[in-house]
Homo-oligomer: A and B are copies of this chain.
Amino acid sequence: MSHDDPALRRAGIDYVRGCVDIAAAVGSPHVAGPMYSATGKTRLLSPTERERQRGWAVESLAEVAEYAAGRDVRLAIEPLNRFETDLVNTVEQGLDLCERIGGANVGLLLDTFHMNIEERSLPDAIRLAGGRVFHFHACENDRGAPGSGHIDWDGVLAALADVDYPGQIVIESFSPEIREIARAVSLWRPLAESPDALVRDGLASLRRGLARAQTR
């Protein structure tokens, strides 16, 4: 979406338009992900060059957003941590991108794993995003089951309640057995006894947290 080569930007736009078509066909409310760039681009760009690439991302995503609006689909753009992209790391940078793209159907996918590295306060970052939180990934600081690490889940869930987040909270984690994804996310050791155990423990912990948040 932000590549120097206009033909590659066009290929990116066409790809995400195809995702929008699939979302519309299956009734998904949104297409979500770090769609401003290929992942893994971590380059020490000059401010001018970085700004130029963000400008291209804005131009490409504005076209996709308009297309998506016509199909009642929203775009949820995901900031990633510094080791996975150099373009959009923080909620603040994500909101800036949303504003420049324009359109009520453009917002953010927030992921606690990335936020743990980039945000000074996860609850404050969620409140800053407010109604632009379109989707939410819950993941422990080491990408394991929510509740097994040091993420402040009570603070995170309270902030989601404060912004009246109406969507789903999705546990995103990974298994080293799926080699392509393990390589993409730099996962070198298992994060739980089994994927099933991770889901079981993570869900139990999030449910306890939600119950606490509701009785605040």
In the complex the two chains form, is A122's CB within 8 Å of B150's CB?
Answer: yes
Q: Which residues of B contact A179 (CB under 8 A)?
A: 44
Shortest distance in angstroms between A118's beta carbon and chain B's nearest beta carbon? 6
* Chain A interface SS verdict (over half): loop
* Cα(A70)–Cα(B125), bound, Å: 52
Closest residue of B by beta carbon distance from A44: B183
Range of interface residues on chain A? Answer: 20 to 34
Q: Is B140 a contact of A82 with CB atoms below 8 Å?
A: no
Determine the chain B residues whose CB is within 8 A of the CB of A165 once the complex forms: none
Bound-state Cα–Cα, A119 to B44, Å? 28
> Which residue on B lies nearest to A148, using beta carbons?
B120
A198 to chain B, nearest CB (A): 13
The one of B121, B186, B188 that contacts A150, using a Cβ cutoff of 8 Å: B121
> A43 CA to B86 CA in the complex, in Å?
21
Q: Could you tell me which residues of chain A, from 42 to 82, have a CB within 8 Å of some CB in chain B?
A: 42-44, 50, 81-82
Which chain B residues lie closer than 8 Å to A86 at the CB level?
A: 186, 188
Give chain A's interface residues, CB within 8 Å of chain B: 42-44, 50, 81-84, 86, 89-90, 116-122, 140-142, 144, 148-150, 152, 179, 182-183, 186-189
List 5 contacting pairs A-B, 8 Å CB cutoff, sorted by A: A43-B183, A81-B83, A82-B187, A83-B83, A119-B141
11 other A-B residue contacts (CB within 8 Å) besides A120-B141, A120-B144, A122-B150: A42-B188, A44-B183, A44-B188, A89-B189, A116-B116, A116-B117, A119-B141, A119-B150, A120-B140, A120-B142, A120-B149
A-B CB proximity, top 9 nearest: A83-B83, A82-B186, A44-B183, A120-B149, A86-B188, A83-B186, A42-B186, A118-B142, A120-B148
